[in-house]
Amino acid sequence: MVLKVEKLTKAFGGLTAVNNVNLQVEEGSIQAIIGPNGAGKSTFFNLISGFHLPSSGKIIFKGKDITKLPPNKIAKLRIARTFQTTNLFENATVLDNVVIGNRLRTKSGVFDAIFRTKREIREEKESMEKAFEALRFVELTHLADQSIGSITQEQKKRVAIALALATDPELVLLDEPAAGINPDETDGLAALIKKMAKSGLTVCLIEHKMSMIMSLADRIMVLNQGERIAEGTPEEIRNNPVVIEAYLGSEEDESSKTTSV
Ligand SMILES: Nc1ncnc2c1ncn2[C@@H]1O[C@H](COP(=O)(O)OP(=O)(O)OP(=O)(O)O)[C@@H](O)[C@H]1O
């Protein structure tokens, strides 16, 4: 197991956003996390990536206890997460966005930047190479010199994924990778996510688009009011009465609809 989450709990004051959640994620698999609005999905990601400190429980990544590590230390252990496309720099080029994302995570400090030390120059070259490699993976090299403001929402989603890939991760956390794009484009993104897992990456994703999740995920965890109410294969989840009751309901067939129960 690449990721083991044990009895993870996060309380915000009187509200328990994540409550005693267990999860094991196998290397190279696609693990989806679904649940109604406010179920605790984003909080769960924020705990794994170190943006929130758990109230209790444990997070083990490749045998190492990362429960109390800050985000930068977790990123160095090769866990990457994507952010909303609104975090991209609209006026900068696609390539620069990916390079900047990578540079923010590499070591050189202000001193290096001002005096352009050898390390700075080396890191800059490495960042550029990594950025290109990531753009190649997400199939956007032809747009490298375009500004973010001039590309489509689906292409921005790919840039957000490229940003994560440029940090050379082993585990990638994707927060709603297909939100706000049309069904055709959703298929393209699903293919990209499959390709990531095929290349050996482990992928955890939060997504509301049920048809995408059902065909993409190896396993699905369902959260409801902070609690894990089910975990299993798409088939098991689809037929689970507790899940149907709490979440899927009659919207099961409305494949491309963004569920907001
Ligand atoms: N920083 C915070 N401080 C206080 N409460 C928070 C904080 N972050 C999240 N919450 C609360 O925790 C609960 C779970 O929120 P969370 O964003 O994790 O749910 P979610 O499943 O990701 O929902 P959505 O699908 O709407 O994004 C909500 O009731 C939310 O208001």
The confidence score (pLDDT) of residue 247 equals 73
Tens-digit pLDDT profile for residues 17-32: 999 999 999 999 999 9
Q: Are the C-beta atoms of 71 and 49 separated by less than 8 Å?
A: yes
Cα separation, 200 vs 171, in Å, equals 9
> Where do the structural domains in the chain lie, given as residue ranges?
1-78+169-261, 85-165
Atom of ligand 1 nearest to the CA of 45: 18
Which of the 8 DSSP states describes residue 2?
-
Q: Are the C-beta atoms of 227 and 19 separated by less than 8 Å?
A: yes
Tokens for 186?
């959703």
β partners of residue 223: 228
Q: Whose CA is nearest to atom 18 of ligand 1?
A: 40
What residues in the chain have per-residue pLDDT under 50? 250, 252-261
1-78+169-261: CATH, from 3.30.9.100, 3.40.50.300, 2.60.290.11, 3.50.50.60? 3.40.50.300
The confidence score (pLDDT) of residue 256 equals 40
Q: Whose CA is nearest to atom 25 of ligand 1?
A: 37
Residue type at position 199: S
Q: Whose CA is nearest to atom 3 of ligand 1?
A: 12
The confidence score (pLDDT) of residue 70 equals 94
Pocket of ligand 1 contains residue 232 by CB under 6 Å: no
Atom of ligand 1 nearest to the CA of 13: 4
Q: Are strands 202-206 and 219-224 parallel, antiparallel or unpaired?
A: unpaired
Centre of ligand 1 to C-alpha 114, Å, is: 41
pTM above 0.80, yes or no: yes
The confidence score (pLDDT) of residue 108 equals 58
Pocket of ligand 1 contains residue 37 by CB under 6 Å: yes
Atom of ligand 1 nearest to the CA of 39: 21
The confidence score (pLDDT) of residue 218 equals 98
β partners of residue 6: 58
Residue where the block lists tokens 């429960």: 67
β partners of residue 251: none
The confidence score (pLDDT) of residue 120 equals 74
Residue type at position 87: N
Pocket of ligand 1 contains residue 17 by CB under 6 Å: yes
Pocket of ligand 1 contains residue 8 by CB under 6 Å: no
Centre of ligand 1 to C-alpha 43, Å, is: 6
Pocket of ligand 1 contains residue 42 by CB under 6 Å: yes
Question: Which ipTM value was assigned to this complex?
Answer: 0.95
- Report the largest interatomic distance among the alpha carbons of the chain, rounded to a whole angstrom: 63
